[in-house]
Amino acid sequence: MAMNSKSSLGLAGGCSVALLLAACATTSPESESALEQARAAVQRLEAQPMASQTAGKALQDARDALGNAEAAERAHRPPEEVIHLSYLARRDADIGEAVIAEQASRTAMAQAQAQRERVLLDAREREAALARQQAAQSQQQAAQSQQNAQLSAQQAQEAQQQARDAQQQLEALQAKQTYRGMILTLGNVLFDTNEDTLKPGADEIVSRLSQFLQKHPEVKVRIEGHTDSTGSDAYNESLSQRRADAVAMALEHRGIPQSQLQAVGRGKSAPVASNDTSAGRQQNRRVEIIFSDTQGQFVSG
């Protein structure tokens, strides 16, 4: 039996809404975060001077996986698929960096060995009376050079492991990788409205942050206070600075030196959402913890 026009229109409208809801359901903060991390990992590998020559296959695999993840996101594929493809891209990028590090270590060892052989050759060409003495000195120098090369390779590996450990611990704190570096955003958990005294509930996150900084004294943090647009510029700047200072002081009380901390009040100058809605203003009332790299350097800009 044929449907009348009103029934057909109702069915079509219902289908359109269902398709729209299904398309919206295919994106999620987790998939977006996974895709951002994958892009950052591929970019780090691409920035390596010898990436194409030394880790060409891993680089291409990482680019392909990232392209598949981006295509899946554009096609509104399920978030789990985007997350999985993003993981593959990060894994291939990590493999590429490991290959480059291994090749650098091999090159250093080869250079040390070549230096040793040159020293021994020079020693044999010298006068017979000094040959034994010079050969012993050359062997000692070669052994020292080899030891230095091994020490350099070990230091490089330790630095890489230290950076990986710091990255994992920051992710455990729910810090996110951004164009400004790793950032931990804290909202209303720290302060009551218009107050600059830390709430009791803030003790756990401040303690976890201090534990991380104690384990990684080479990492510095910039503590930025932010407000919404309610109130005057002078009031918001003062409130944001007091809140940043309160977090810095809490960290100092837990043994973190001042040299590791920077407290900055930015008032309402850097909103992350519209101040036209209460939800947007709530997002703008925040404290951001910005982490330096393991050399104590912040991302410029």
Edge-first strand order for the sheet with 221-226 is 176-178, 181-186, 286-291, 221-226, 261-265
DSSP type of residue 222: E
* Region 173-291: CATH code: 3.30.1330.60
Please state the domain extents for the chain: 25-160, 173-291
Torsion angle, alpha carbons of 158, 163, 165, 169, to 10:
160
Q: Is 65 exposed, middle or buried (0-12, 13-18, 19+ CB in 10 A)?
A: buried
Q: Is the dihedral of CA 256, 226, 289, 190 positive or negative?
A: positive
Residue 202, Cα to own-chain centre: how many angstroms? 24
CA distance 167 to 169: 6
Residue 243: name the closest of 265, 211, 268 by CA. 265
pLDDT tens sequence for the chain (301 residues): 444 444 443 434 443 433 333 444 456 899 899 899 989 989 998 898 888 888 888 889 989 989 998 999 999 999 999 999 989 989 998 998 899 899 888 888 899 889 888 888 888 888 888 988 887 888 888 778 777 777 777 766 765 676 677 667 777 677 889 898 999 988 766 887 788 888 888 888 899 999 999 999 999 999 999 999 999 999 999 999 999 999 999 999 999 999 999 999 999 999 999 999 999 998 898 999 999 998 889 987 6
Backbone angles phi, psi at 147, to 5 degrees: -65, -40
Indicate the helix (H) or strand (E) that contains 60: helix 56-74
Half-sphere exposure of 97 (CA within 13 A, CB side): 19
Residue 228: name the closest of 264, 201, 193 by CA. 193
Between helix 79-125 and helix 128-172 the angle, nearest 10°, is 170
pLDDT at 26: 52
Provide DSSP, 103-147.
HHHHHHHHHHHHHHHHHHHHHHHS-HHHHHHHHHHHHHHHHHHHH
Count CB neighbours of 213 within 10 A. 22
Residue 301: name the closest of 183, 180, 178, 176 by CA. 180
CA distance 263 to 19: 48
